[in-house]
A and B are shown apart, each in its own frame.
Chain A
Amino acid sequence: MSRSFTPKVVTANALLEGDAVWLTADDRWTRRLEEAELIEDEAHAQLRLLHAESQPDVVVGAYLADAKPGPNGPEPTHFRETFRTRGPSNYPHGKQTDETHV
């Protein structure tokens, strides 16, 4: 039996800034994981990844990352992806800074 598919989000790094971005259901790239499209179907995930990879002038290194549903939208399931949603732990840099200014 093949392993069951776990929900995914499409993520990448922005071409100019290099920061983490996620693909939304309405084809935008967002800086906030909560706004990403949570994909429950494997075939759909592959199509969305292809869509991401067709935008080399916007993003770099698109891939499917595991995620789970949360009250405000998708949430990371692995600590690496958690770090990507906020920034480094030694300085308040990256997305965690942006959030404090929102």
Chain B
Amino acid sequence: MYKYNDFDEAFVRERVAQFRAQVERRIDGSLTEDEFKPLRLMNGLYLQLHAYMLRVAIPYGTLSSRQMRQLAMIAERWDKGYGHFTTRQNIQYNWPKLNDVPDILEALADVEMHAIQTSGNTIRNVTADHFAGAAADEIADPRPVAELLRQWSTDHPEFQFLPRKFKIAVTGAPNDRAVTKAHDIGLRIVEKDGEQGFEVIVGGGLGRTPMIGKVIRDFLPKEDLLPYCEAIVSVYNLLGRRDNKYKARIKITVHEHGLDEIRRLVEERFALIRPTFSGVDQDILAGIEAQFAPPAFAEKSLAVGTDLGAGYRSWLDTNIAAHKRDDHAIVSISLKKHGATPGDATAAQMRVMADLAERYGYDELRISHEQNVILPHVHRADLPAIYSALRDADLATANIGLVSDIIACPGMDYCALATARSIPVAQEIATRFEELKLEHEIGPLKIKISGCINACGHHHVGHIGILGLDRAGVENYQITLGGDGTENAAIAERVGPGFAYDEITPAIERLVRAYLEHREGPEETFLQAYRRLGQAPFKAALYPESKERRDAA
């Protein structure tokens, strides 16, 4: 893992000291809220419906045990004993008090963490494949590049006041687990003639105008990454619209000017600035890469006949992914216990996960954009012990990738922007499918819920997407189908009129039952069935009354 150098340490400490002074000046009245707001947002502090919210960056989703324990300590000391992991690999605290925030930031700095650029019109936390460095299908670990991008983008003087926020995701595997095509810049490590480079995707995004990113360069040499990204952001910084917040993201810039024109401008800018990159960035990258060397993998004999019962076998089926070493595995810890809040972990659970990572996982943890926690490197011999410990901490839910592994934004239970609640909808759907005991039969199915058009819950790329809206003062939920956040990214299509709060779970159940009825067999997933059948059978299941009306007519 990357360790802060003296510069990083001094920079983060200085920002904490600055913010401490800013908070003092706000409280003593020297700063108005209008003056203070941009300063607090630069440090990840929002004001929500019931309290402040502090968004802490977890760069490329990677944490050490020590960092996870500190997150637990913060949750207990300054919050309400839990934290919320988000779809951007951040953690949010929902209840900090303004005058405690500088102390929280100081505690974060103690473990090489911060909340810088988790808000505002800047380059945000760089996200990456949560299986990075471990996945069997990986070409290269994307995290060194993500760290390089983090260092380049943090406090970059040219990019502190962009037209709008800017999000970068990196993957080193052909199976895209980082939703790169829904980011302002998506980077995929690819190989050409034995050389590694990047496929550069630009202009993807969700929100009110969802767009799939477009390939602006199909192969970018590795050493050109920073100047090329700088060229893209630089072109966007000048061209992006500042007249209308809703048209200010680069996806709109690319859409309005066309990919060819954007490419021409980017290449022109790239040619200009490329010579100014003397190679120092590549020296820095080499240093970073050394810090991401794989752990010294343990050699152990696999115990024969360890079987902890049906629950364990089910967990092995759903929560274990292929590691690049046959004797190791990737463990996904579900933060989606049926009926619980998606993405929430108590301080005690964080400590259990930290202990497991320390004891069995080479001290590494990851946060996924699907709001789960990953132990990326685990020897298969240790799986029974890990399962037992997780089960004791209520963390062994065997549902990764299934109908109850729902992404949900905080929605109107916390968020000031939300138009409807998301969390209780996720809780109710998960509880219902647990009652039905159907989810393993249903198989892979991604439900994603957003509580407003900004789409933090990624509903556009859910196999089933749910969007909560305010329709004349009442919560109303639109259903979209057929979205896909992988390398075959697709934006889901709206099916028809929305559903009331108490109608949404029955509607989802009808939808899933229609899939079970129409699928060719258990090997055909929901998404495959939808692509084969189109909307008709699902629409009929969602709106049986209108079918009856048509039949009667």
Chain A residues close to B by CB (< 8 Å): 13, 15-20, 56-57, 60-61, 77-80, 83-84, 87-91, 93-95
Q: Is B289 an interface residue (CB 8 A)?
A: no
**Contact assessment for B47 and A61 in the assembled complex, using a CB-CB cutoff below 8 Å:** yes
> Could you tell me the distance in whole angstroms from the C-beta of A53 to the nearest C-beta in chain B?
10
What residues on A are CB-neighbors of B32 within 8 Å?
56
**Contact assessment for B98 and A15 in the assembled complex, using a CB-CB cutoff below 8 Å:** yes
What residues on A are CB-neighbors of B28 within 8 Å?
57
**Contact assessment for B424 and A89 in the assembled complex, using a CB-CB cutoff below 8 Å:** yes
A60-B47 contact given A89-B413, A93-B80, CB 8 Å threshold = yes
Q: Is B414 an interface residue (CB 8 A)?
A: yes
What residues on A are CB-neighbors of B396 within 8 Å?
none
A90-B413 contact given A15-B27, A57-B27, A84-B50, CB 8 Å threshold = yes
What residues on B are CB-neighbors of A93 within 8 Å?
50, 80, 94-95
Q: Is B52 an interface residue (CB 8 A)?
A: yes
What residues on A are CB-neighbors of B52 within 8 Å?
18
Within 8 A of A (CB), among B375-421: 412-414, 421
CA distance A82 to B52 in the complex (A): 19
| Number of A-B residue pairs having CB atoms within 8 Å of each other in the complex | 72
CA distance A26 to B479 in the complex (A): 47
Q: Which residue of A lies closest to B421 (CB)?
A: A89
What residues on A are CB-neighbors of B26 within 8 Å?
15
**Contact assessment for A20 and B49 in the assembled complex, using a CB-CB cutoff below 8 Å:** yes
> Could you tell me the distance in whole angstroms from the C-beta of B373 to the nearest C-beta in chain A?
19
Interface size on B, residues (CB 8 A): 30
**Contact assessment for A16 and B97 in the assembled complex, using a CB-CB cutoff below 8 Å:** yes
Within 8 A of A (CB), among B70-117: 80, 94-95, 97-99
CA distance A55 to B112 in the complex (A): 37
Q: Which residue of A lies closest to B37 (CB)?
A: A60
Q: Is B33 an interface residue (CB 8 A)?
A: yes
Contact of A56 among B29, B48, B424, B474 (CB under 8 A): B29
**Contact assessment for B424 and A19 in the assembled complex, using a CB-CB cutoff below 8 Å:** no
Contact of B412 among A56, A61, A83 (CB under 8 A): A83
What residues on A are CB-neighbors of B412 within 8 Å?
79-80, 83
Contact of A90 among B29, B51, B341, B470 (CB under 8 A): B341
What residues on B are CB-neighbors of A94 within 8 Å?
50-51
Q: Which of B99, B413, B423, B475 has the most CB of A within 10 A?
A: B413
CA distance A26 to B94 in the complex (A): 31
What residues on A are CB-neighbors of B48 within 8 Å?
18
A90-B424 contact given A60-B33, A83-B412, CB 8 Å threshold = yes
What residues on A are CB-neighbors of B414 within 8 Å?
88
**Contact assessment for B33 and A56 in the assembled complex, using a CB-CB cutoff below 8 Å:** yes
> Could you tell me the distance in whole angstroms from the C-beta of B43 to the nearest C-beta in chain A?
15
Q: Which of A61, A77, A90, A91 has the most CB of B within 10 A?
A: A90
What residues on A are CB-neighbors of B27 within 8 Å?
15-16, 57
> Could you tell me the distance in whole angstroms from the C-beta of A36 to the nearest C-beta in chain B?
17
Contact of B423 among A13, A16, A89 (CB under 8 A): A89
Contact of A20 among B50, B98, B473 (CB under 8 A): B50
What residues on B are CB-neighbors of A84 within 8 Å?
49-50
What residues on B are CB-neighbors of A18 within 8 Å?
47-48, 50-52, 97-98
Q: Which residue of A lies closest to B52 (CB)?
A: A18
Q: Which of B50, B97, B474 has the most CB of A within 10 A?
A: B50
Within 8 A of A (CB), among B327-386: 341
> Could you tell me the distance in whole angstroms from the C-beta of B347 to the nearest C-beta in chain A?
14
**Contact assessment for B413 and A83 in the assembled complex, using a CB-CB cutoff below 8 Å:** yes
**Contact assessment for A19 and B50 in the assembled complex, using a CB-CB cutoff below 8 Å:** yes
Q: Is B427 an interface residue (CB 8 A)?
A: yes
What residues on A are CB-neighbors of B341 within 8 Å?
90-91
Contact of A16 among B99, B421, B424, B474 (CB under 8 A): B99
A87-B427 contact given A16-B27, A18-B98, A93-B95, CB 8 Å threshold = no
